[in-house]
A and B are shown apart, each in its own frame.
Chain A
């Protein structure tokens, strides 16, 4: 009964979304306050209905109701509770339900907290948001019903793919989707602004917190996914340029550009139509990402739905959503008035450069992801272009980005002084020189690119810190005055400082581990030892152990350095009883200088085991850096000016909002 209730709630949500798509939009053009307000109520009701559907599906998973086909296919009564719950979204139908849940959640947030928006803008945003919901709810109800029954019900379920039974991955989809779907708000704002025919500083101010929120979630989601790949797949890599990873990375790159160009709209009233385009593109890339993953058009380790019927439906959705919004853009954007004078050497000039590089980088990733598809359409087959392509295209683009990023924040709005900015960076330049010499000497004979990348990370970090020091008057004022200035600094400024510092960490970590990883693959007998990166690793032996729904082989290693014990490592190889699949659980010891990483493989006939040992320099900095970036995003989000809008601006926004220039 509960499953049928969930299904019913989903269909009702679809009906509500249809009403929400039509009423407020019509109300906004007729200036009918009642119709416009209906959108707010509808958004909240829609959320309540989807929450009910989601709760019903979660209930089916928790009580292991195998008469529901989805539960029978993806769960098992022996599975630990957390994976029963994460099993809800560890499959196609459930993940779509999570998708619409988050979409409805954002819509309801606009309805509840959008009180400072002009009523017509809010009504149109809610309406566009509902149109997206209609598309996806229709998709679910017609092709991907999560509540389908199975008769007769099987005695037990098929279990969740064991690779997905992991705490990191249990959290990965909700966080990632919150990012993906969160950009729907920026999209809805952009489309609503095109309908209104007006984009101004106030608009940018309203869009920016939503973009920041989505961006923070997406950053966290990507980092979680890469962390999972690092420790769970047992290859010790953190990024594979896999189509599904790219599907989340492209919206991130364009979303980052959007975040920065919205600042220019807010401060300088320029780059308007470009910002609108970025907002449309960011969410479009999220949608295309969904298409790529869900339709199975690309070969990937991640794909778990390959059904051409669904693919056709999603493609039709894409054409309507993206094609429609871009057509609207082509029609209305030329009428948007640009403003302000625009000197190349200025803060806005630097932000424009940031935008150009980020979108170009997104384009290279896009081509690398889609090239196999295009090739197939042209008569080729399904292939993977792989890291060589990205190393040749994406990586070189990051160099000018980082170089400019060190300088950009030091430039003033309108007309910056490059010489003065560079003068303030002499400490940063000195730090880079020292870093180059030191890392160069330490890694002599190994890829020189590594030292260059570390230099770039130091340049960025030192540039950010110089900017901070200048802002709080460090060295020119007394310590007390500086501390007072630091306390008085707006949170958005702290946010920028943290996010840029975090990026420096990510660059250092990615370069260190990609270029300097040491690895050894060998057959070890119990008692044997090996040396890697100065650590002695002694293999103590292997034993069997039983888990709740798997048996595992556990190999124990003792790591020591110069005779002093460092850590005991336990590497596992699990066999899941139901599906019969194997997974590797790498043993990882994290240090600031790098990770010791051990994986145990097959037993050999002579009683030895194939063992892979790695030393991954600086790898933890990738995720620490990403965490700092997310923290920066949230810090900036908590800025008072973003949350409630500066009173003066708000007043003028309301005044013009009442009489839109149409």
Chain B
């Protein structure tokens, strides 16, 4: 019995090694969401910025759009941030933000420093909308079609390659859908 105790570290490590190995073999940052092809969940978030626009379900209907979950404490969000200004201006694609588990002052300062590419930002300090959307962590990005259905979910920072290879082609296809 006492011997078994000394095996615990080894067993724990082997489990971890299995996980790490699995993490290496996958580069799938794309993951299926139970919400794919379903209408965006019901939510209504107040604006992050005073005088700015908040974000609710109805805002997502009418045109193809991106919804990006971000937070000022999240380092990968900082890394991907410049791409949203580019998407918004070059692709004429509205990018909506959900500011997740953040503090208002810090998020405001963060946007002031890095620029604010978002057409609307919902402020979600206590993960109200996050639960509805099934947010795992920041950053996450969703593609929403003109009927307000979620068509694609991407977890982790979006860089040029993902944008050009996956997100923009999908957006173009969705724009042609009736």
A308-B25, A334-B2, A373-B23 provided; 8 other pairs, C-beta below 8 A? Answer: A299-B75, A312-B24, A315-B17, A323-B14, A327-B10, A381-B154, A384-B76, A601-B113
By the criterion CB–CB under 8 Å, are B20 and A315 in contact? yes
Whether B9 and A299, one on each chain, are in contact in the complex, defined by CB atoms closer than 8 angstroms, is no
Q: Is A370 in contact with chain B by the CB < 8 A criterion?
A: yes
Q: Looking at the assembled complex, report how far the CB atom of A360 sits from the nearest CB atom of chain B, in whole angstroms.
A: 15
Decide yes or no whether B27 CB sits under 8 A from chain A. yes
A323/B73 contact (C-beta < 8 A), A373-B20, A383-B138 known: no
Q: How far is the CA of A382 from the CA of B137 in the complex (A)?
A: 8
User: How far in angstroms is the closest Cβ of chain B from A369?
Assistant: 12
Q: Is the CB of B75 within 8 A of A384?
A: yes
Determine whether the beta carbon of A382 is less than 8 Å from that of B75.
no
Which residues of B, 137-152, contact A by the 8 Å Cβ criterion? 137-140
Nearest residue (CB) in A for B30 is: A381
Q: B78: nearest residue on chain A (CB-CB)?
A: A301
Q: Name, among A318, A373, A384, the residue most crowded by chain B CB atoms within 10 Å (CB to CB).
A: A384
Chain A contacts with B in 286-306, Cβ cutoff 8 A = 291, 295, 297, 299-301
Interface residue A388 (Cβ < 8 Å from any Cβ of B): yes
Cβ contacts under 8 Å, B6 to chain A: 273, 329-330, 333-334
List residues 48-101 of chain B with CB under 8 A from any CB of chain A: 71, 73-79, 101
Chain B residues near A299: list those with CB within 8 A.
Answer: 75-76, 79, 156-157
Determine the residue in chain B with the shortest Cβ distance to A384.
B74
Contact of A375 among B30, B75, B76, B137 (CB under 8 A): B137
A-B pairs with lowest CB-CB distance, top 9: A381-B155, A383-B137, A382-B156, A326-B10, A377-B22, A386-B73, A330-B7, A330-B6, A311-B24
Any A CB within 8 A of the CB of B16: yes
Q: Output the nearest chain A residue to B103 by Cβ-Cβ distance.
A: A388
Q: Which residues of B lie under 8 Å from residue A610 when comparing CB positions?
A: 112-113
**A376 CB–B CB distance under 8 Å:** yes
Evaluate whether A315 and B21 lie within 8 angstroms (CB atoms) in the complex, with A323-B10, A329-B6, A381-B154 already known: yes
State the Cβ distance, B157 to closest chain A Cβ, in Å: 6
**A521 CB within 8 Å of chain B:** yes
A589 to B154, CA, bound (A): 42
Asked if B3 is at the interface of the complex by the 8 Å CB criterion, the answer is yes
* Contacting pair A373 B19 (CB below 8 A): yes
A326–B13 CB distance below 8 A: yes
Q: Name B's A-contacting residues (CB within 8 A).
A: 2-3, 6-7, 9-10, 13-14, 16-17, 19-32, 71, 73-79, 101, 109, 112-113, 136-140, 154-157
Residue A374 interfacial (CB < 8 Å): yes
A295 nearest in chain B by CB position = B24
Q: Which residue of B lies closest to A318 (CB)?
A: B17
Roughly how many angstroms separate A242 CA and B79 CA in the complex, as a whole number?
13
Kindly identify, within residues 355 to 396 of chain A, every residue whose CB is under 8 Å from any CB belonging to chain B: 370, 372-377, 379-388
**Any B CB within 8 A of the CB of A319:** yes
Instruction: Provide a sorted-by-A list of 7 A–B residue pairs whose CB atoms are within 8 angstroms.
Output: A297-B20, A299-B76, A322-B13, A383-B155, A386-B137, A388-B101, A521-B109
Which B residues lie within 8 Å of A330 (CB)?
3, 6-7, 9-10
Complex contact B19–A374 (CB within 8 A): yes
A229 to chain B, nearest CB (A): 11
> Which has the most chain A C-beta neighbours within 10 Å: B23, B71, B109?
B23
Is A137 part of the binding interface, using a Cβ–Cβ cutoff of 8 Å? no
In the bound complex, residues from chain A placing their C-beta under 8 Å from that of B9 are: 277, 280-281, 326, 329-330
Q: Are A383 and B26 in contact (CB under 8 A)?
A: no
Q: How far is the CA of A334 from the CA of B101 in the complex (A)?
A: 47
In terms of DSSP, what is the predominant structure of the interface of chain B?
helix
Contacts of B2 in A (CB 8 A): 334
Interface of A toward B, CB cutoff 8 Å: 240, 242, 273, 277, 280-281, 284, 291, 295, 297, 299-301, 308, 311-312, 315, 318-319, 322-323, 326-327, 329-330, 333-334, 370, 372-377, 379-388, 519, 521, 601, 610, 612
Known contacts A329-B6, A380-B31, A383-B138; decide if A323 and B75 are in contact (CB<8 Å): no
Q: Of A312, A380, A388, which one neighbours B136 at CB under 8 angstroms?
A: A380
The answer for the CA separation of A327 and B29 in the assembled complex, in Å, is 34
CA–CA, A308 to B25, complex, Å? 8
Contact B29 A315 (CB under 8 A): no
A387 touches B19 (CB 8 A): no
CA distance A319 to B140 in the complex (A): 32
Q: A318-B20, A370-B16, A373-B20 are in contact. Are A381 and B136 (CB under 8 A)?
A: yes
Q: What's the nearest-Cβ distance from chain A to residue B133, in Å?
A: 13
Residues of B within 8 A of A297 (CB): 20, 23-24
Specify which chain A residues have a CB less than 8 angstroms from the CB of B71 in the assembled complex.
386
With a CB–CB cut-off of 8 A, which chain A residues contact B30?
381
Asked if A382 and B29 sit within 8 Å, CB to CB, the answer is yes
Contact partners of A372 in chain B: CB under 8 A: 137
Complex formed: what's the CA distance from A102 to B25 in Å? 31
Contacts of A612 in B (CB 8 A): 109, 113
Contact A315 B137 (CB under 8 A): no
Alpha-carbon distance A536/B136, docked complex (angstroms): 44
Other-chain contact of A381, B14, B20, B29, B73 (Cβ < 8 Å): B29
Find chain A residues with CB under 8 A from B14 CB. 323
Taking CB as reference atom, which chain B residue is nearest A375? B136
Asked whether B23 lies within 8 Å of A300 as measured between CB atoms, the reply is no
B contact residues around A370 at 8 Å (CB): 16, 19
| Bound form: Cα–Cα A312–B23 in Å | 10
| Distance A612 CA – B77 CA, assembled complex (angstroms) | 20
Nearest-neighbour CB distance to chain B for A171, whole angstroms, equals 23
What B residues does A284 contact at CB under 8 A?
Answer: 13
Please measure, in the bound complex, the distance between the C-alpha atom of A281 and the C-alpha atom of B6, giving whole angstroms.
Answer: 13
Contact partner, B137, options A281, A300, A323, A385, Cβ 8 Å: A385
Q: Which chain B residues lie closer than 8 Å to A327 at the CB level?
A: 10
Asked whether A376 lies within 8 Å of B76 as measured between CB atoms, the reply is no
B75 touches A383 (CB 8 A): no
Smallest Cβ-Cβ distance to B106: which chain A residue:
A519
CB of B138 within 8 A of CB of A377, answer no
Contact of B24 among A273, A280, A315, A329 (CB under 8 A): A315
- How far does the alpha carbon of A272 sit from the alpha carbon of B88 in the complex, in Å? 61
Complex interface: chain B residues within 8 A of A383 (CB): 76, 136-140, 155-156
Residue in B closest to A292 when the chains form the complex, CB atoms:
B20
- Residue of A277, A301, A373 near B79 (CB, 8 A) is A301
Smallest CB–CB gap between A609 and chain B, Å?
A: 13
CA distance A334 to B77 in the complex (A): 48
Structural contact, A323 and B113, CB atoms closer than 8 A: no
Least Cβ–Cβ distance between A27 and chain B, in angstroms: 28
Complex Cα distance A375/B137, Å?
10
For B20, what are the chain A residues with a Cβ–Cβ distance below 8 Å?
291, 297, 315, 318, 373
